[in-house]
Structure 1
Amino acid sequence: MFITGFVTRIKCAFRDKEMIFWTLLFPVMLATLFYFCFSNLDSADAFSPVKTAVVADQAYRQAAGFQAALEEVSKEGEDRLLQLTRVETREEADRLLEDGRVEGYLTIEAGAPKLTVRDDGLNQTILKSFLDQYLQISATAAHILERNPQAAQQGLLTDLMEQQEFTREISLSNAKPSHQLPYFYALIAMVCLYGSFQGLTSAFYLQANLSALGARRSMAPRKKLAMITADMLGSLAVHLLTMLVLLCYLLLVLRLDFGNQIGYLLLTVLVGSIVGVSLGALVGAALRIKVEAKTAILITLSLACCFLAGLMVEGISYAIQQNAPAAAWLNPAARISDAFYCLYYYDNHTRYFMDLGVLCAMAAIFGLGAMACLRRRKYESI
């Protein structure tokens, strides 16, 4: 009888076309939209050499030191700072600047380099910083040579041009930083919580005062606990199948990189889905209001949790974590999203298992609460 109830619940779930749309087709459509909207986020921060013009007139040709500095920062390679274009006259440089083909241009006036730009921005700031650094080094070198003419033969210029670094950049993992993945993490968390619709449907068809099917099932000679368990597991199985389809679409079609810890990835999806289904069952069993109102509550709750987990605004999850850590830890969507984040970036599973522990506690509270409400529900008449 347990197997019969389990299989029957699965069949009923697949016949619910509206449910399949919201838990499978809609997330796939939203993931596709995210992919096309956010695919350039990771490349937006990539640095490209600043397009710069220099007026190569007689004054420039006489400034050997400045020429050497420009050639050094415009050489091909990973550390290339400027993409240099040489022009003969200032009028030609002005035309390039007006047409937007360069971010600024350099000239030599009264023996000193000068920068001309049209707008304010990051690239213009980089140009100004380069010029300021060159002027500072030149002034320092002139001052030292004035007091010690032999310093040039003692490696002064090499020492001044050499950049000393006193910090070392390290990474907790080999994963490349990504701005688009948090949106997909929050999307998966949203779909996990959408399992609440399956749980709500199961609770609806287990209560005799809400549906004719519930009334017939209440009269059946079966243990109530076995009936509830079979229904909940059937709902969970269907939702897990939709989650697996979504994950396959993200990994195999959209080619998103979630790291190589697929086992832990699937475990997170399993626990998150249990939280979603049990939450829906609890709302369906505990609240004595119309099913439409229960659905509205679940939709509002799911979207609010996902908003605070970063589904709509990047960085809001971090802000909540810093300013209201209790709210962040009580948000199931934030814990699911953070678990994916830990798997991608961290080299250990300490924080991951903390997230998973919180989710398991939520699932236990929601599930046991739903079962208690459904098992103790009695009716004087139907």
Structure 2
Amino acid sequence: MFLRLIIYRIKVLLKNRVLLFWTFAFPVVLGLLFNFAFSGLDDQGQLETTKIGIVSSDAEKTENFETVLYSLENDGKPVYQGKQMSKKQAVTQLSDEKIAGYYEITPTDISLAVSQSGIPQTIMEEFLNQYLQQTTEIENLIASGSVNPQAISEDLFASTNYVAEGHQASSYSVKSFYFFTLVAMAIMYSFMWGLKNANDQQANQSANGMRLSLLPKNKLTVAIANLLASFVLFYSQSMIILAIFHFVYQVDFGNRWGWILLIYGVASLATLSLGTLIGNALPKLGLQQKISIGVGLSMAMSFFAGMMGSQSLKYWIDVNLPLLGKLNLVNLISDSLYQLFYYQSLNTFYINLAWLVGFTIVFMLLNYFFERRVQYDHL
């Protein structure tokens, strides 16, 4: 009976051509436009040596930092060309666009200052993140007293693996970067299927809701069957879209396909559950009103994730309000794909994956809370 409920629900959803357009045809068409717009950017955007500034108040710390920084190469050319300068000189040269940014090194911290968002600035930010992560690990090992500090220093700063990681990040695909946000927005649109489920489960919203309320089945069983049906349908759609992006539009997603498929699955469950939650939490609003709320939320998340020419805002949020970035589903999804593509280390990816799993669990629990409280005076 449970399997029949799932099959029946898939058949019902397949008849909804409007939602099929927005969750399948629209991302494909928008991807085609993205392909026309960004297909030449990778050829134009081959990385040249980036000029940067170093503002230092700690000579030893700066020496270690520069050792790693200047060891990074791209096709035999150094990725960075740096010069030590005063803070005033750095600010002036950054304002005049003579340097892409500058690192400020103090005895307690290393920070990055940029005036715009772009490929060099993004790579500079990630290099700093990776460097700080590794140096923190070293400091912890030294503090434990179980290792030789000099040996650790040599292993880190002469490590070919570390240089390779920085080099991988420098093999930047601008086209892939933009498509990651499109993929995240497309996955976010699955909220429409979740919203449709909630609408069809409510007797005061649809005739389907009345019939489902009269079934001699537990409401939770029906809700789970509907969720699984919409997940199977949307995930199948997403795999076709992913195949079109990769094989037809020639978008490079990297080679970590297992993790990519997992992100698609977890993110789809999260956004489906979010759509159901919108429907359950606002039972007195009509379906179109709820869809408008969901679309508005999706567009806002996409904007803050850097999709609409707002990369500088996304960068500012990542630096100054990182929690806000973690609360943005579109940003979590696009960043996860970004991390899988560019970085060898998966530490930050695991954090994003944990946030997505957490959102999925919270949304499902809230849906259960709302659905078990639903009662009707009459049908």
TM, length-normalised to structure 2 = 0.67
Q: Cα distance, 1:312 vs. partner? A: 1.2
For 1:232, which of 203, 227, 237 is the aligned residue? 227
- 1:191 is aligned to 186
Q: Cα distance, 1:291 vs. partner? A: 1.6
Q: Cα distance, 1:216 vs. partner? A: 1.4
CA distance in 2, matches of 1:188, 1:316: 20
CA distance in 2, matches of 1:241, 1:319: 35
Contact 1:41–1:180 (8 Å) recurs in 2? yes
CA distance in 2, matches of 1:293, 1:354: 34
Spell out, residue by residue over 1:104-150, the C-alpha distance to the aligned partner (whole angstroms, 9 max, x if none).
xxxxxxxxxxxxxxxxx99xxxxxxxxxxxxxxxxxxxxxxxxxxxx
- 1:267 is aligned to 262
Q: Secondary structure at the match of 2:37?
A: helix
CA distance in 2, matches of 1:241, 1:31: 18
Query: Structure 1 residue 31 and structure 2 residue 31: aligned?
Result: yes
Q: Cα distance, 1:78 vs. partner? A: 8.4
Q: Secondary structure at the match of 2:201?
A: coil
For 2:360, which of 356, 360, 363 is the aligned residue? 363
Q: Which runs of 5+ in 1 are unaligned?
A: 49-76, 80-120, 123-167
CA distance in 2, matches of 1:78, 1:213: 65
For 1:298, which of 290, 294, 298 is the aligned residue? 294
- 1:143 is aligned to none
Query: Structure 1 residue 214 and structure 2 residue 212: aligned?
Result: no
Spell out, residue by residue over 1:188-216, the C-alpha distance to the aligned partner (whole angstroms, 9 max, x if none).
11111111000000000101111111111
Query: Structure 1 residue 320 and structure 2 residue 313: aligned?
Result: no
> AA paired with 2:324?
A
- 1:277 is aligned to 272
Superposition CA RMSD, Å: 2.2
Contact 2:277–2:363 (8 Å) recurs in 1? yes
- 1:139 is aligned to none
Query: Structure 1 residue 245 and structure 2 residue 240: aligned?
Result: yes
For 1:372, which of 362, 369, 373 is the aligned residue? 369
Contact 1:182–1:341 (8 Å) recurs in 2? yes
Q: Which runs of 5+ in 2 are unaligned?
A: 49-74, 78-96, 99-159
Q: Cα distance, 1:47 vs. partner? A: 7.3
Q: Secondary structure at the match of 1:205?
A: helix
Contact 2:318–2:325 (8 Å) recurs in 1? yes
CA distance in 1, matches of 2:175, 2:28: 16
CA distance in 1, matches of 2:47, 2:343: 25
- 2:168 is aligned to 174
In the comparison of the two structures, how many residue pairs are matched?
269
Q: Cα distance, 1:40 vs. partner? A: 1.8
- 1:14 is aligned to 14
Q: Cα distance, 1:328 vs. partner? A: 0.6
Contact 1:182–1:310 (8 Å) recurs in 2? no
Classify 1:323/1:47 alpha carbon distance in 2 versus 1 (closer, same or farther; 3 Å). Answer: closer
Q: Cα distance, 1:171 vs. partner? A: 4.3
Identity over the aligned pairs, expressed in percent? Answer: 34
Spell out, residue by residue over 1:249-278, the C-alpha distance to the aligned partner (whole angstroms, 9 max, x if none).
011111211111000000011111111100
CA distance in 2, matches of 1:207, 1:11: 19
Q: Cα distance, 1:375 vs. partner? A: 2.3
Contact 2:45–2:174 (8 Å) recurs in 1? no
Contact 1:5–1:227 (8 Å) recurs in 2? yes
CA distance in 2, matches of 1:281, 1:305: 18
Contact 2:326–2:355 (8 Å) recurs in 1? yes
Q: Cα distance, 1:180 vs. partner? A: 2.2
Q: Cα distance, 1:315 vs. partner? A: 4.1
- 2:60 is aligned to none
Contact 2:5–2:225 (8 Å) recurs in 1? yes
CA distance in 2, matches of 1:247, 1:338: 17
Contact 2:168–2:343 (8 Å) recurs in 1? no
CA distance in 2, matches of 1:174, 1:361: 30
Q: Cα distance, 1:170 vs. partner? A: 3.2
CA distance in 1, matches of 2:47, 2:18: 46
